[in-house]
Chain A
């Protein structure tokens, strides 16, 4: 006889909690397995086909085979690693934004972060004829400035979700307008490079930027997981969160900073890839059960999505396309559905 349970419903609640914990574990592990499988698969296909064992052996330096190593480590690993890291970062950042602002539309693509990064990068390409790490650095700075600008504009006795989103949409339009103006000023060749960057592609990552992103993901994902508790409390509104002993402004600032940094670095590496941040969180929630909001499952869902999108973009289509085209084609119908259903439920705000 367990002496701990004094309440009649203790058994029932414990069973519910254990069932949910088990489901969460199964979903997370399955997603992780899927991500690893997709990661290996993207390196197997192409004009020079390889077996899974060859890819794994080459990545882990288990075997030396110059021709395989050249294809895997030299050509395919950077793209695959970039898709993996960008997907993880966007998935985590998206769900943090959505939960923090309590709105499924509040992913970084829609609240000005991506546009800020885009404007800065395009300005660099057009005015400074910049490329590579400079463009990435500018994108990073642009995202940070956009986030800071919005935080300042939306600030009044704390940041309220609705205002943040409306200001975000306004800023997005403003930045996009300026980006359009920049493109009209550009030389033809610069404009082509700029347009390619704006579509978003995981294949364009340089070595330096990629390393930066991988390091950041390794550092920021655990930070986000540590802050998950604050996020779950903040979701209940500031008053309740404060009553639960959460230091709301500090928690929110930490979460926003983490999410903005993840988004900015992802955009810096791959350009503004749309919709991954928007759909990763809801997909994870679908799998986990409503409103569970796990950051790790969302990050994994983001990585799985982006790896799949890259596979489709590069290998399944007759002509290889930038990854952003595929995520956009999948994401747009979802957005329409989201707009239609949240409007009907009146749950948009």
Chain B
């Protein structure tokens, strides 16, 4: 299951979202500009040290990378074949460090705080017709419903497996799509019921 926010009282948990998001942007840019394997490895270690500072375990850090193991493997093999071992290690290490850094921000920041910050930052887009509050709510709903959609897909897959249809993509995709659309209607009613004024 996906970890979003991990409650805690560490320095990183108490830090407001804005500096964390800014640090993430700067960190990601620096990592992309750097082309040295050793420095990338040092950056990855530094990110892991930040997990410990945030009172998060290395197991939690590795859990953030687990869903992407296949992507790492494909990248590594392709880079190794076409560009050599050192570049393959560099590309995969950099990607892992970036994901760990981004996950660290999510794990130590409540989504409501993050959305409040983003909503304030997005006010600059108001002149071109953007509605920051709506964008904020959309991000919140996306975060909230990732695990729900994963559960719906698992339920449908199990039901189709019981009927011998586990290999049929359509037999899984169609019920998931229909349930998701029905759920979207209900969510819309629920948001309206709870006094949301866009």
A and B bound?
A: no
